[in-house]
Amino acid sequence: MNSISCADGQPMEAILERHPREEASLIQVLQDVHRAYNYLPCDVLVQVAEALDVPVAKVFSVATFYKAFSLDPQGKTIIKVCTGTACHIRGSGQVIEEITRQLGIGPGQTTSDMGFTLKTVNCVGACAMAPVLIVGDQVHGGVKPAKVAKALNQEGPRDAH
């Protein structure tokens, strides 16, 4: 089980108030929880199951099905590197290598100061801009390894690696 981060329970109450207490609200509630905590803490999933009267197994099934949900704590800024066909051909591999070199994390990993999480995605639908790098909300097109440092610096302090 992952760690607990909702001792006060405040965000949970607000989230549950926004949605009807029924099974159909499950994904919206999970999205709100993910926004509030930046991941899905296991004890919160149990609370969601109780509040919506859905079996915990179902909640866990949904939470593990969607890539948008993470059961591990995420960094403050999410870095997404597109590895779709166009981006792959135009060098997304080197972009990932450069990020790994600078931050010391591979795809799916988070820096020890919880600053960045690196993810690979299969296609963001902007193939004309390949290779695409998304840092937080900022989309960078035509990224070369030399541009990675600048893209990362815009978002926050770099890890000490």
Asked whether the beta carbons of 133 and 96 are under 8 A apart, the reply is no
Rule CB under 8 A: say whether 57 interacts with other proteins. yes
For the chain, give percent helix, strand, coil, nearest 5: 45, 10, 40
Q: Give 3: exposed, middle or buried? Use CB within 10 Å, 0-12, 13-18, 19+.
A: exposed
Amino acid at 142: G
Q: How far is the CB of 64 from other proteins (least distance, A)?
A: 4
Rule CB under 8 A: say whether 4 interacts with other proteins. no
Which one of 30, 33, 59, 78 is in contact with other proteins (CB under 8 A)?
59
Q: Which of 139, 141, 138 is nearest to 155 (CA)?
A: 138
Q: How far is the CB of 98 from other proteins (least distance, A)?
A: 28
Which one of 55, 106, 108, 142 is in contact with other proteins (CB under 8 A)?
55
- DSSP 3-state of 10: helix
Rule CB under 8 A: say whether 108 interacts with other proteins. no
Q: Which is nearer to other proteins, 1 or 146 (CB)?
A: 1
The stretch near other proteins (CB under 8 A) out of 11-19, 59-67, 118-126, 153-161 is: 59-67
Rule CB under 8 A: say whether 37 interacts with other proteins. no
Give dist(CA 113, CA 100) in Å, integer: 15
For other proteins (CB under 8 A), the number of binding residues is: 12
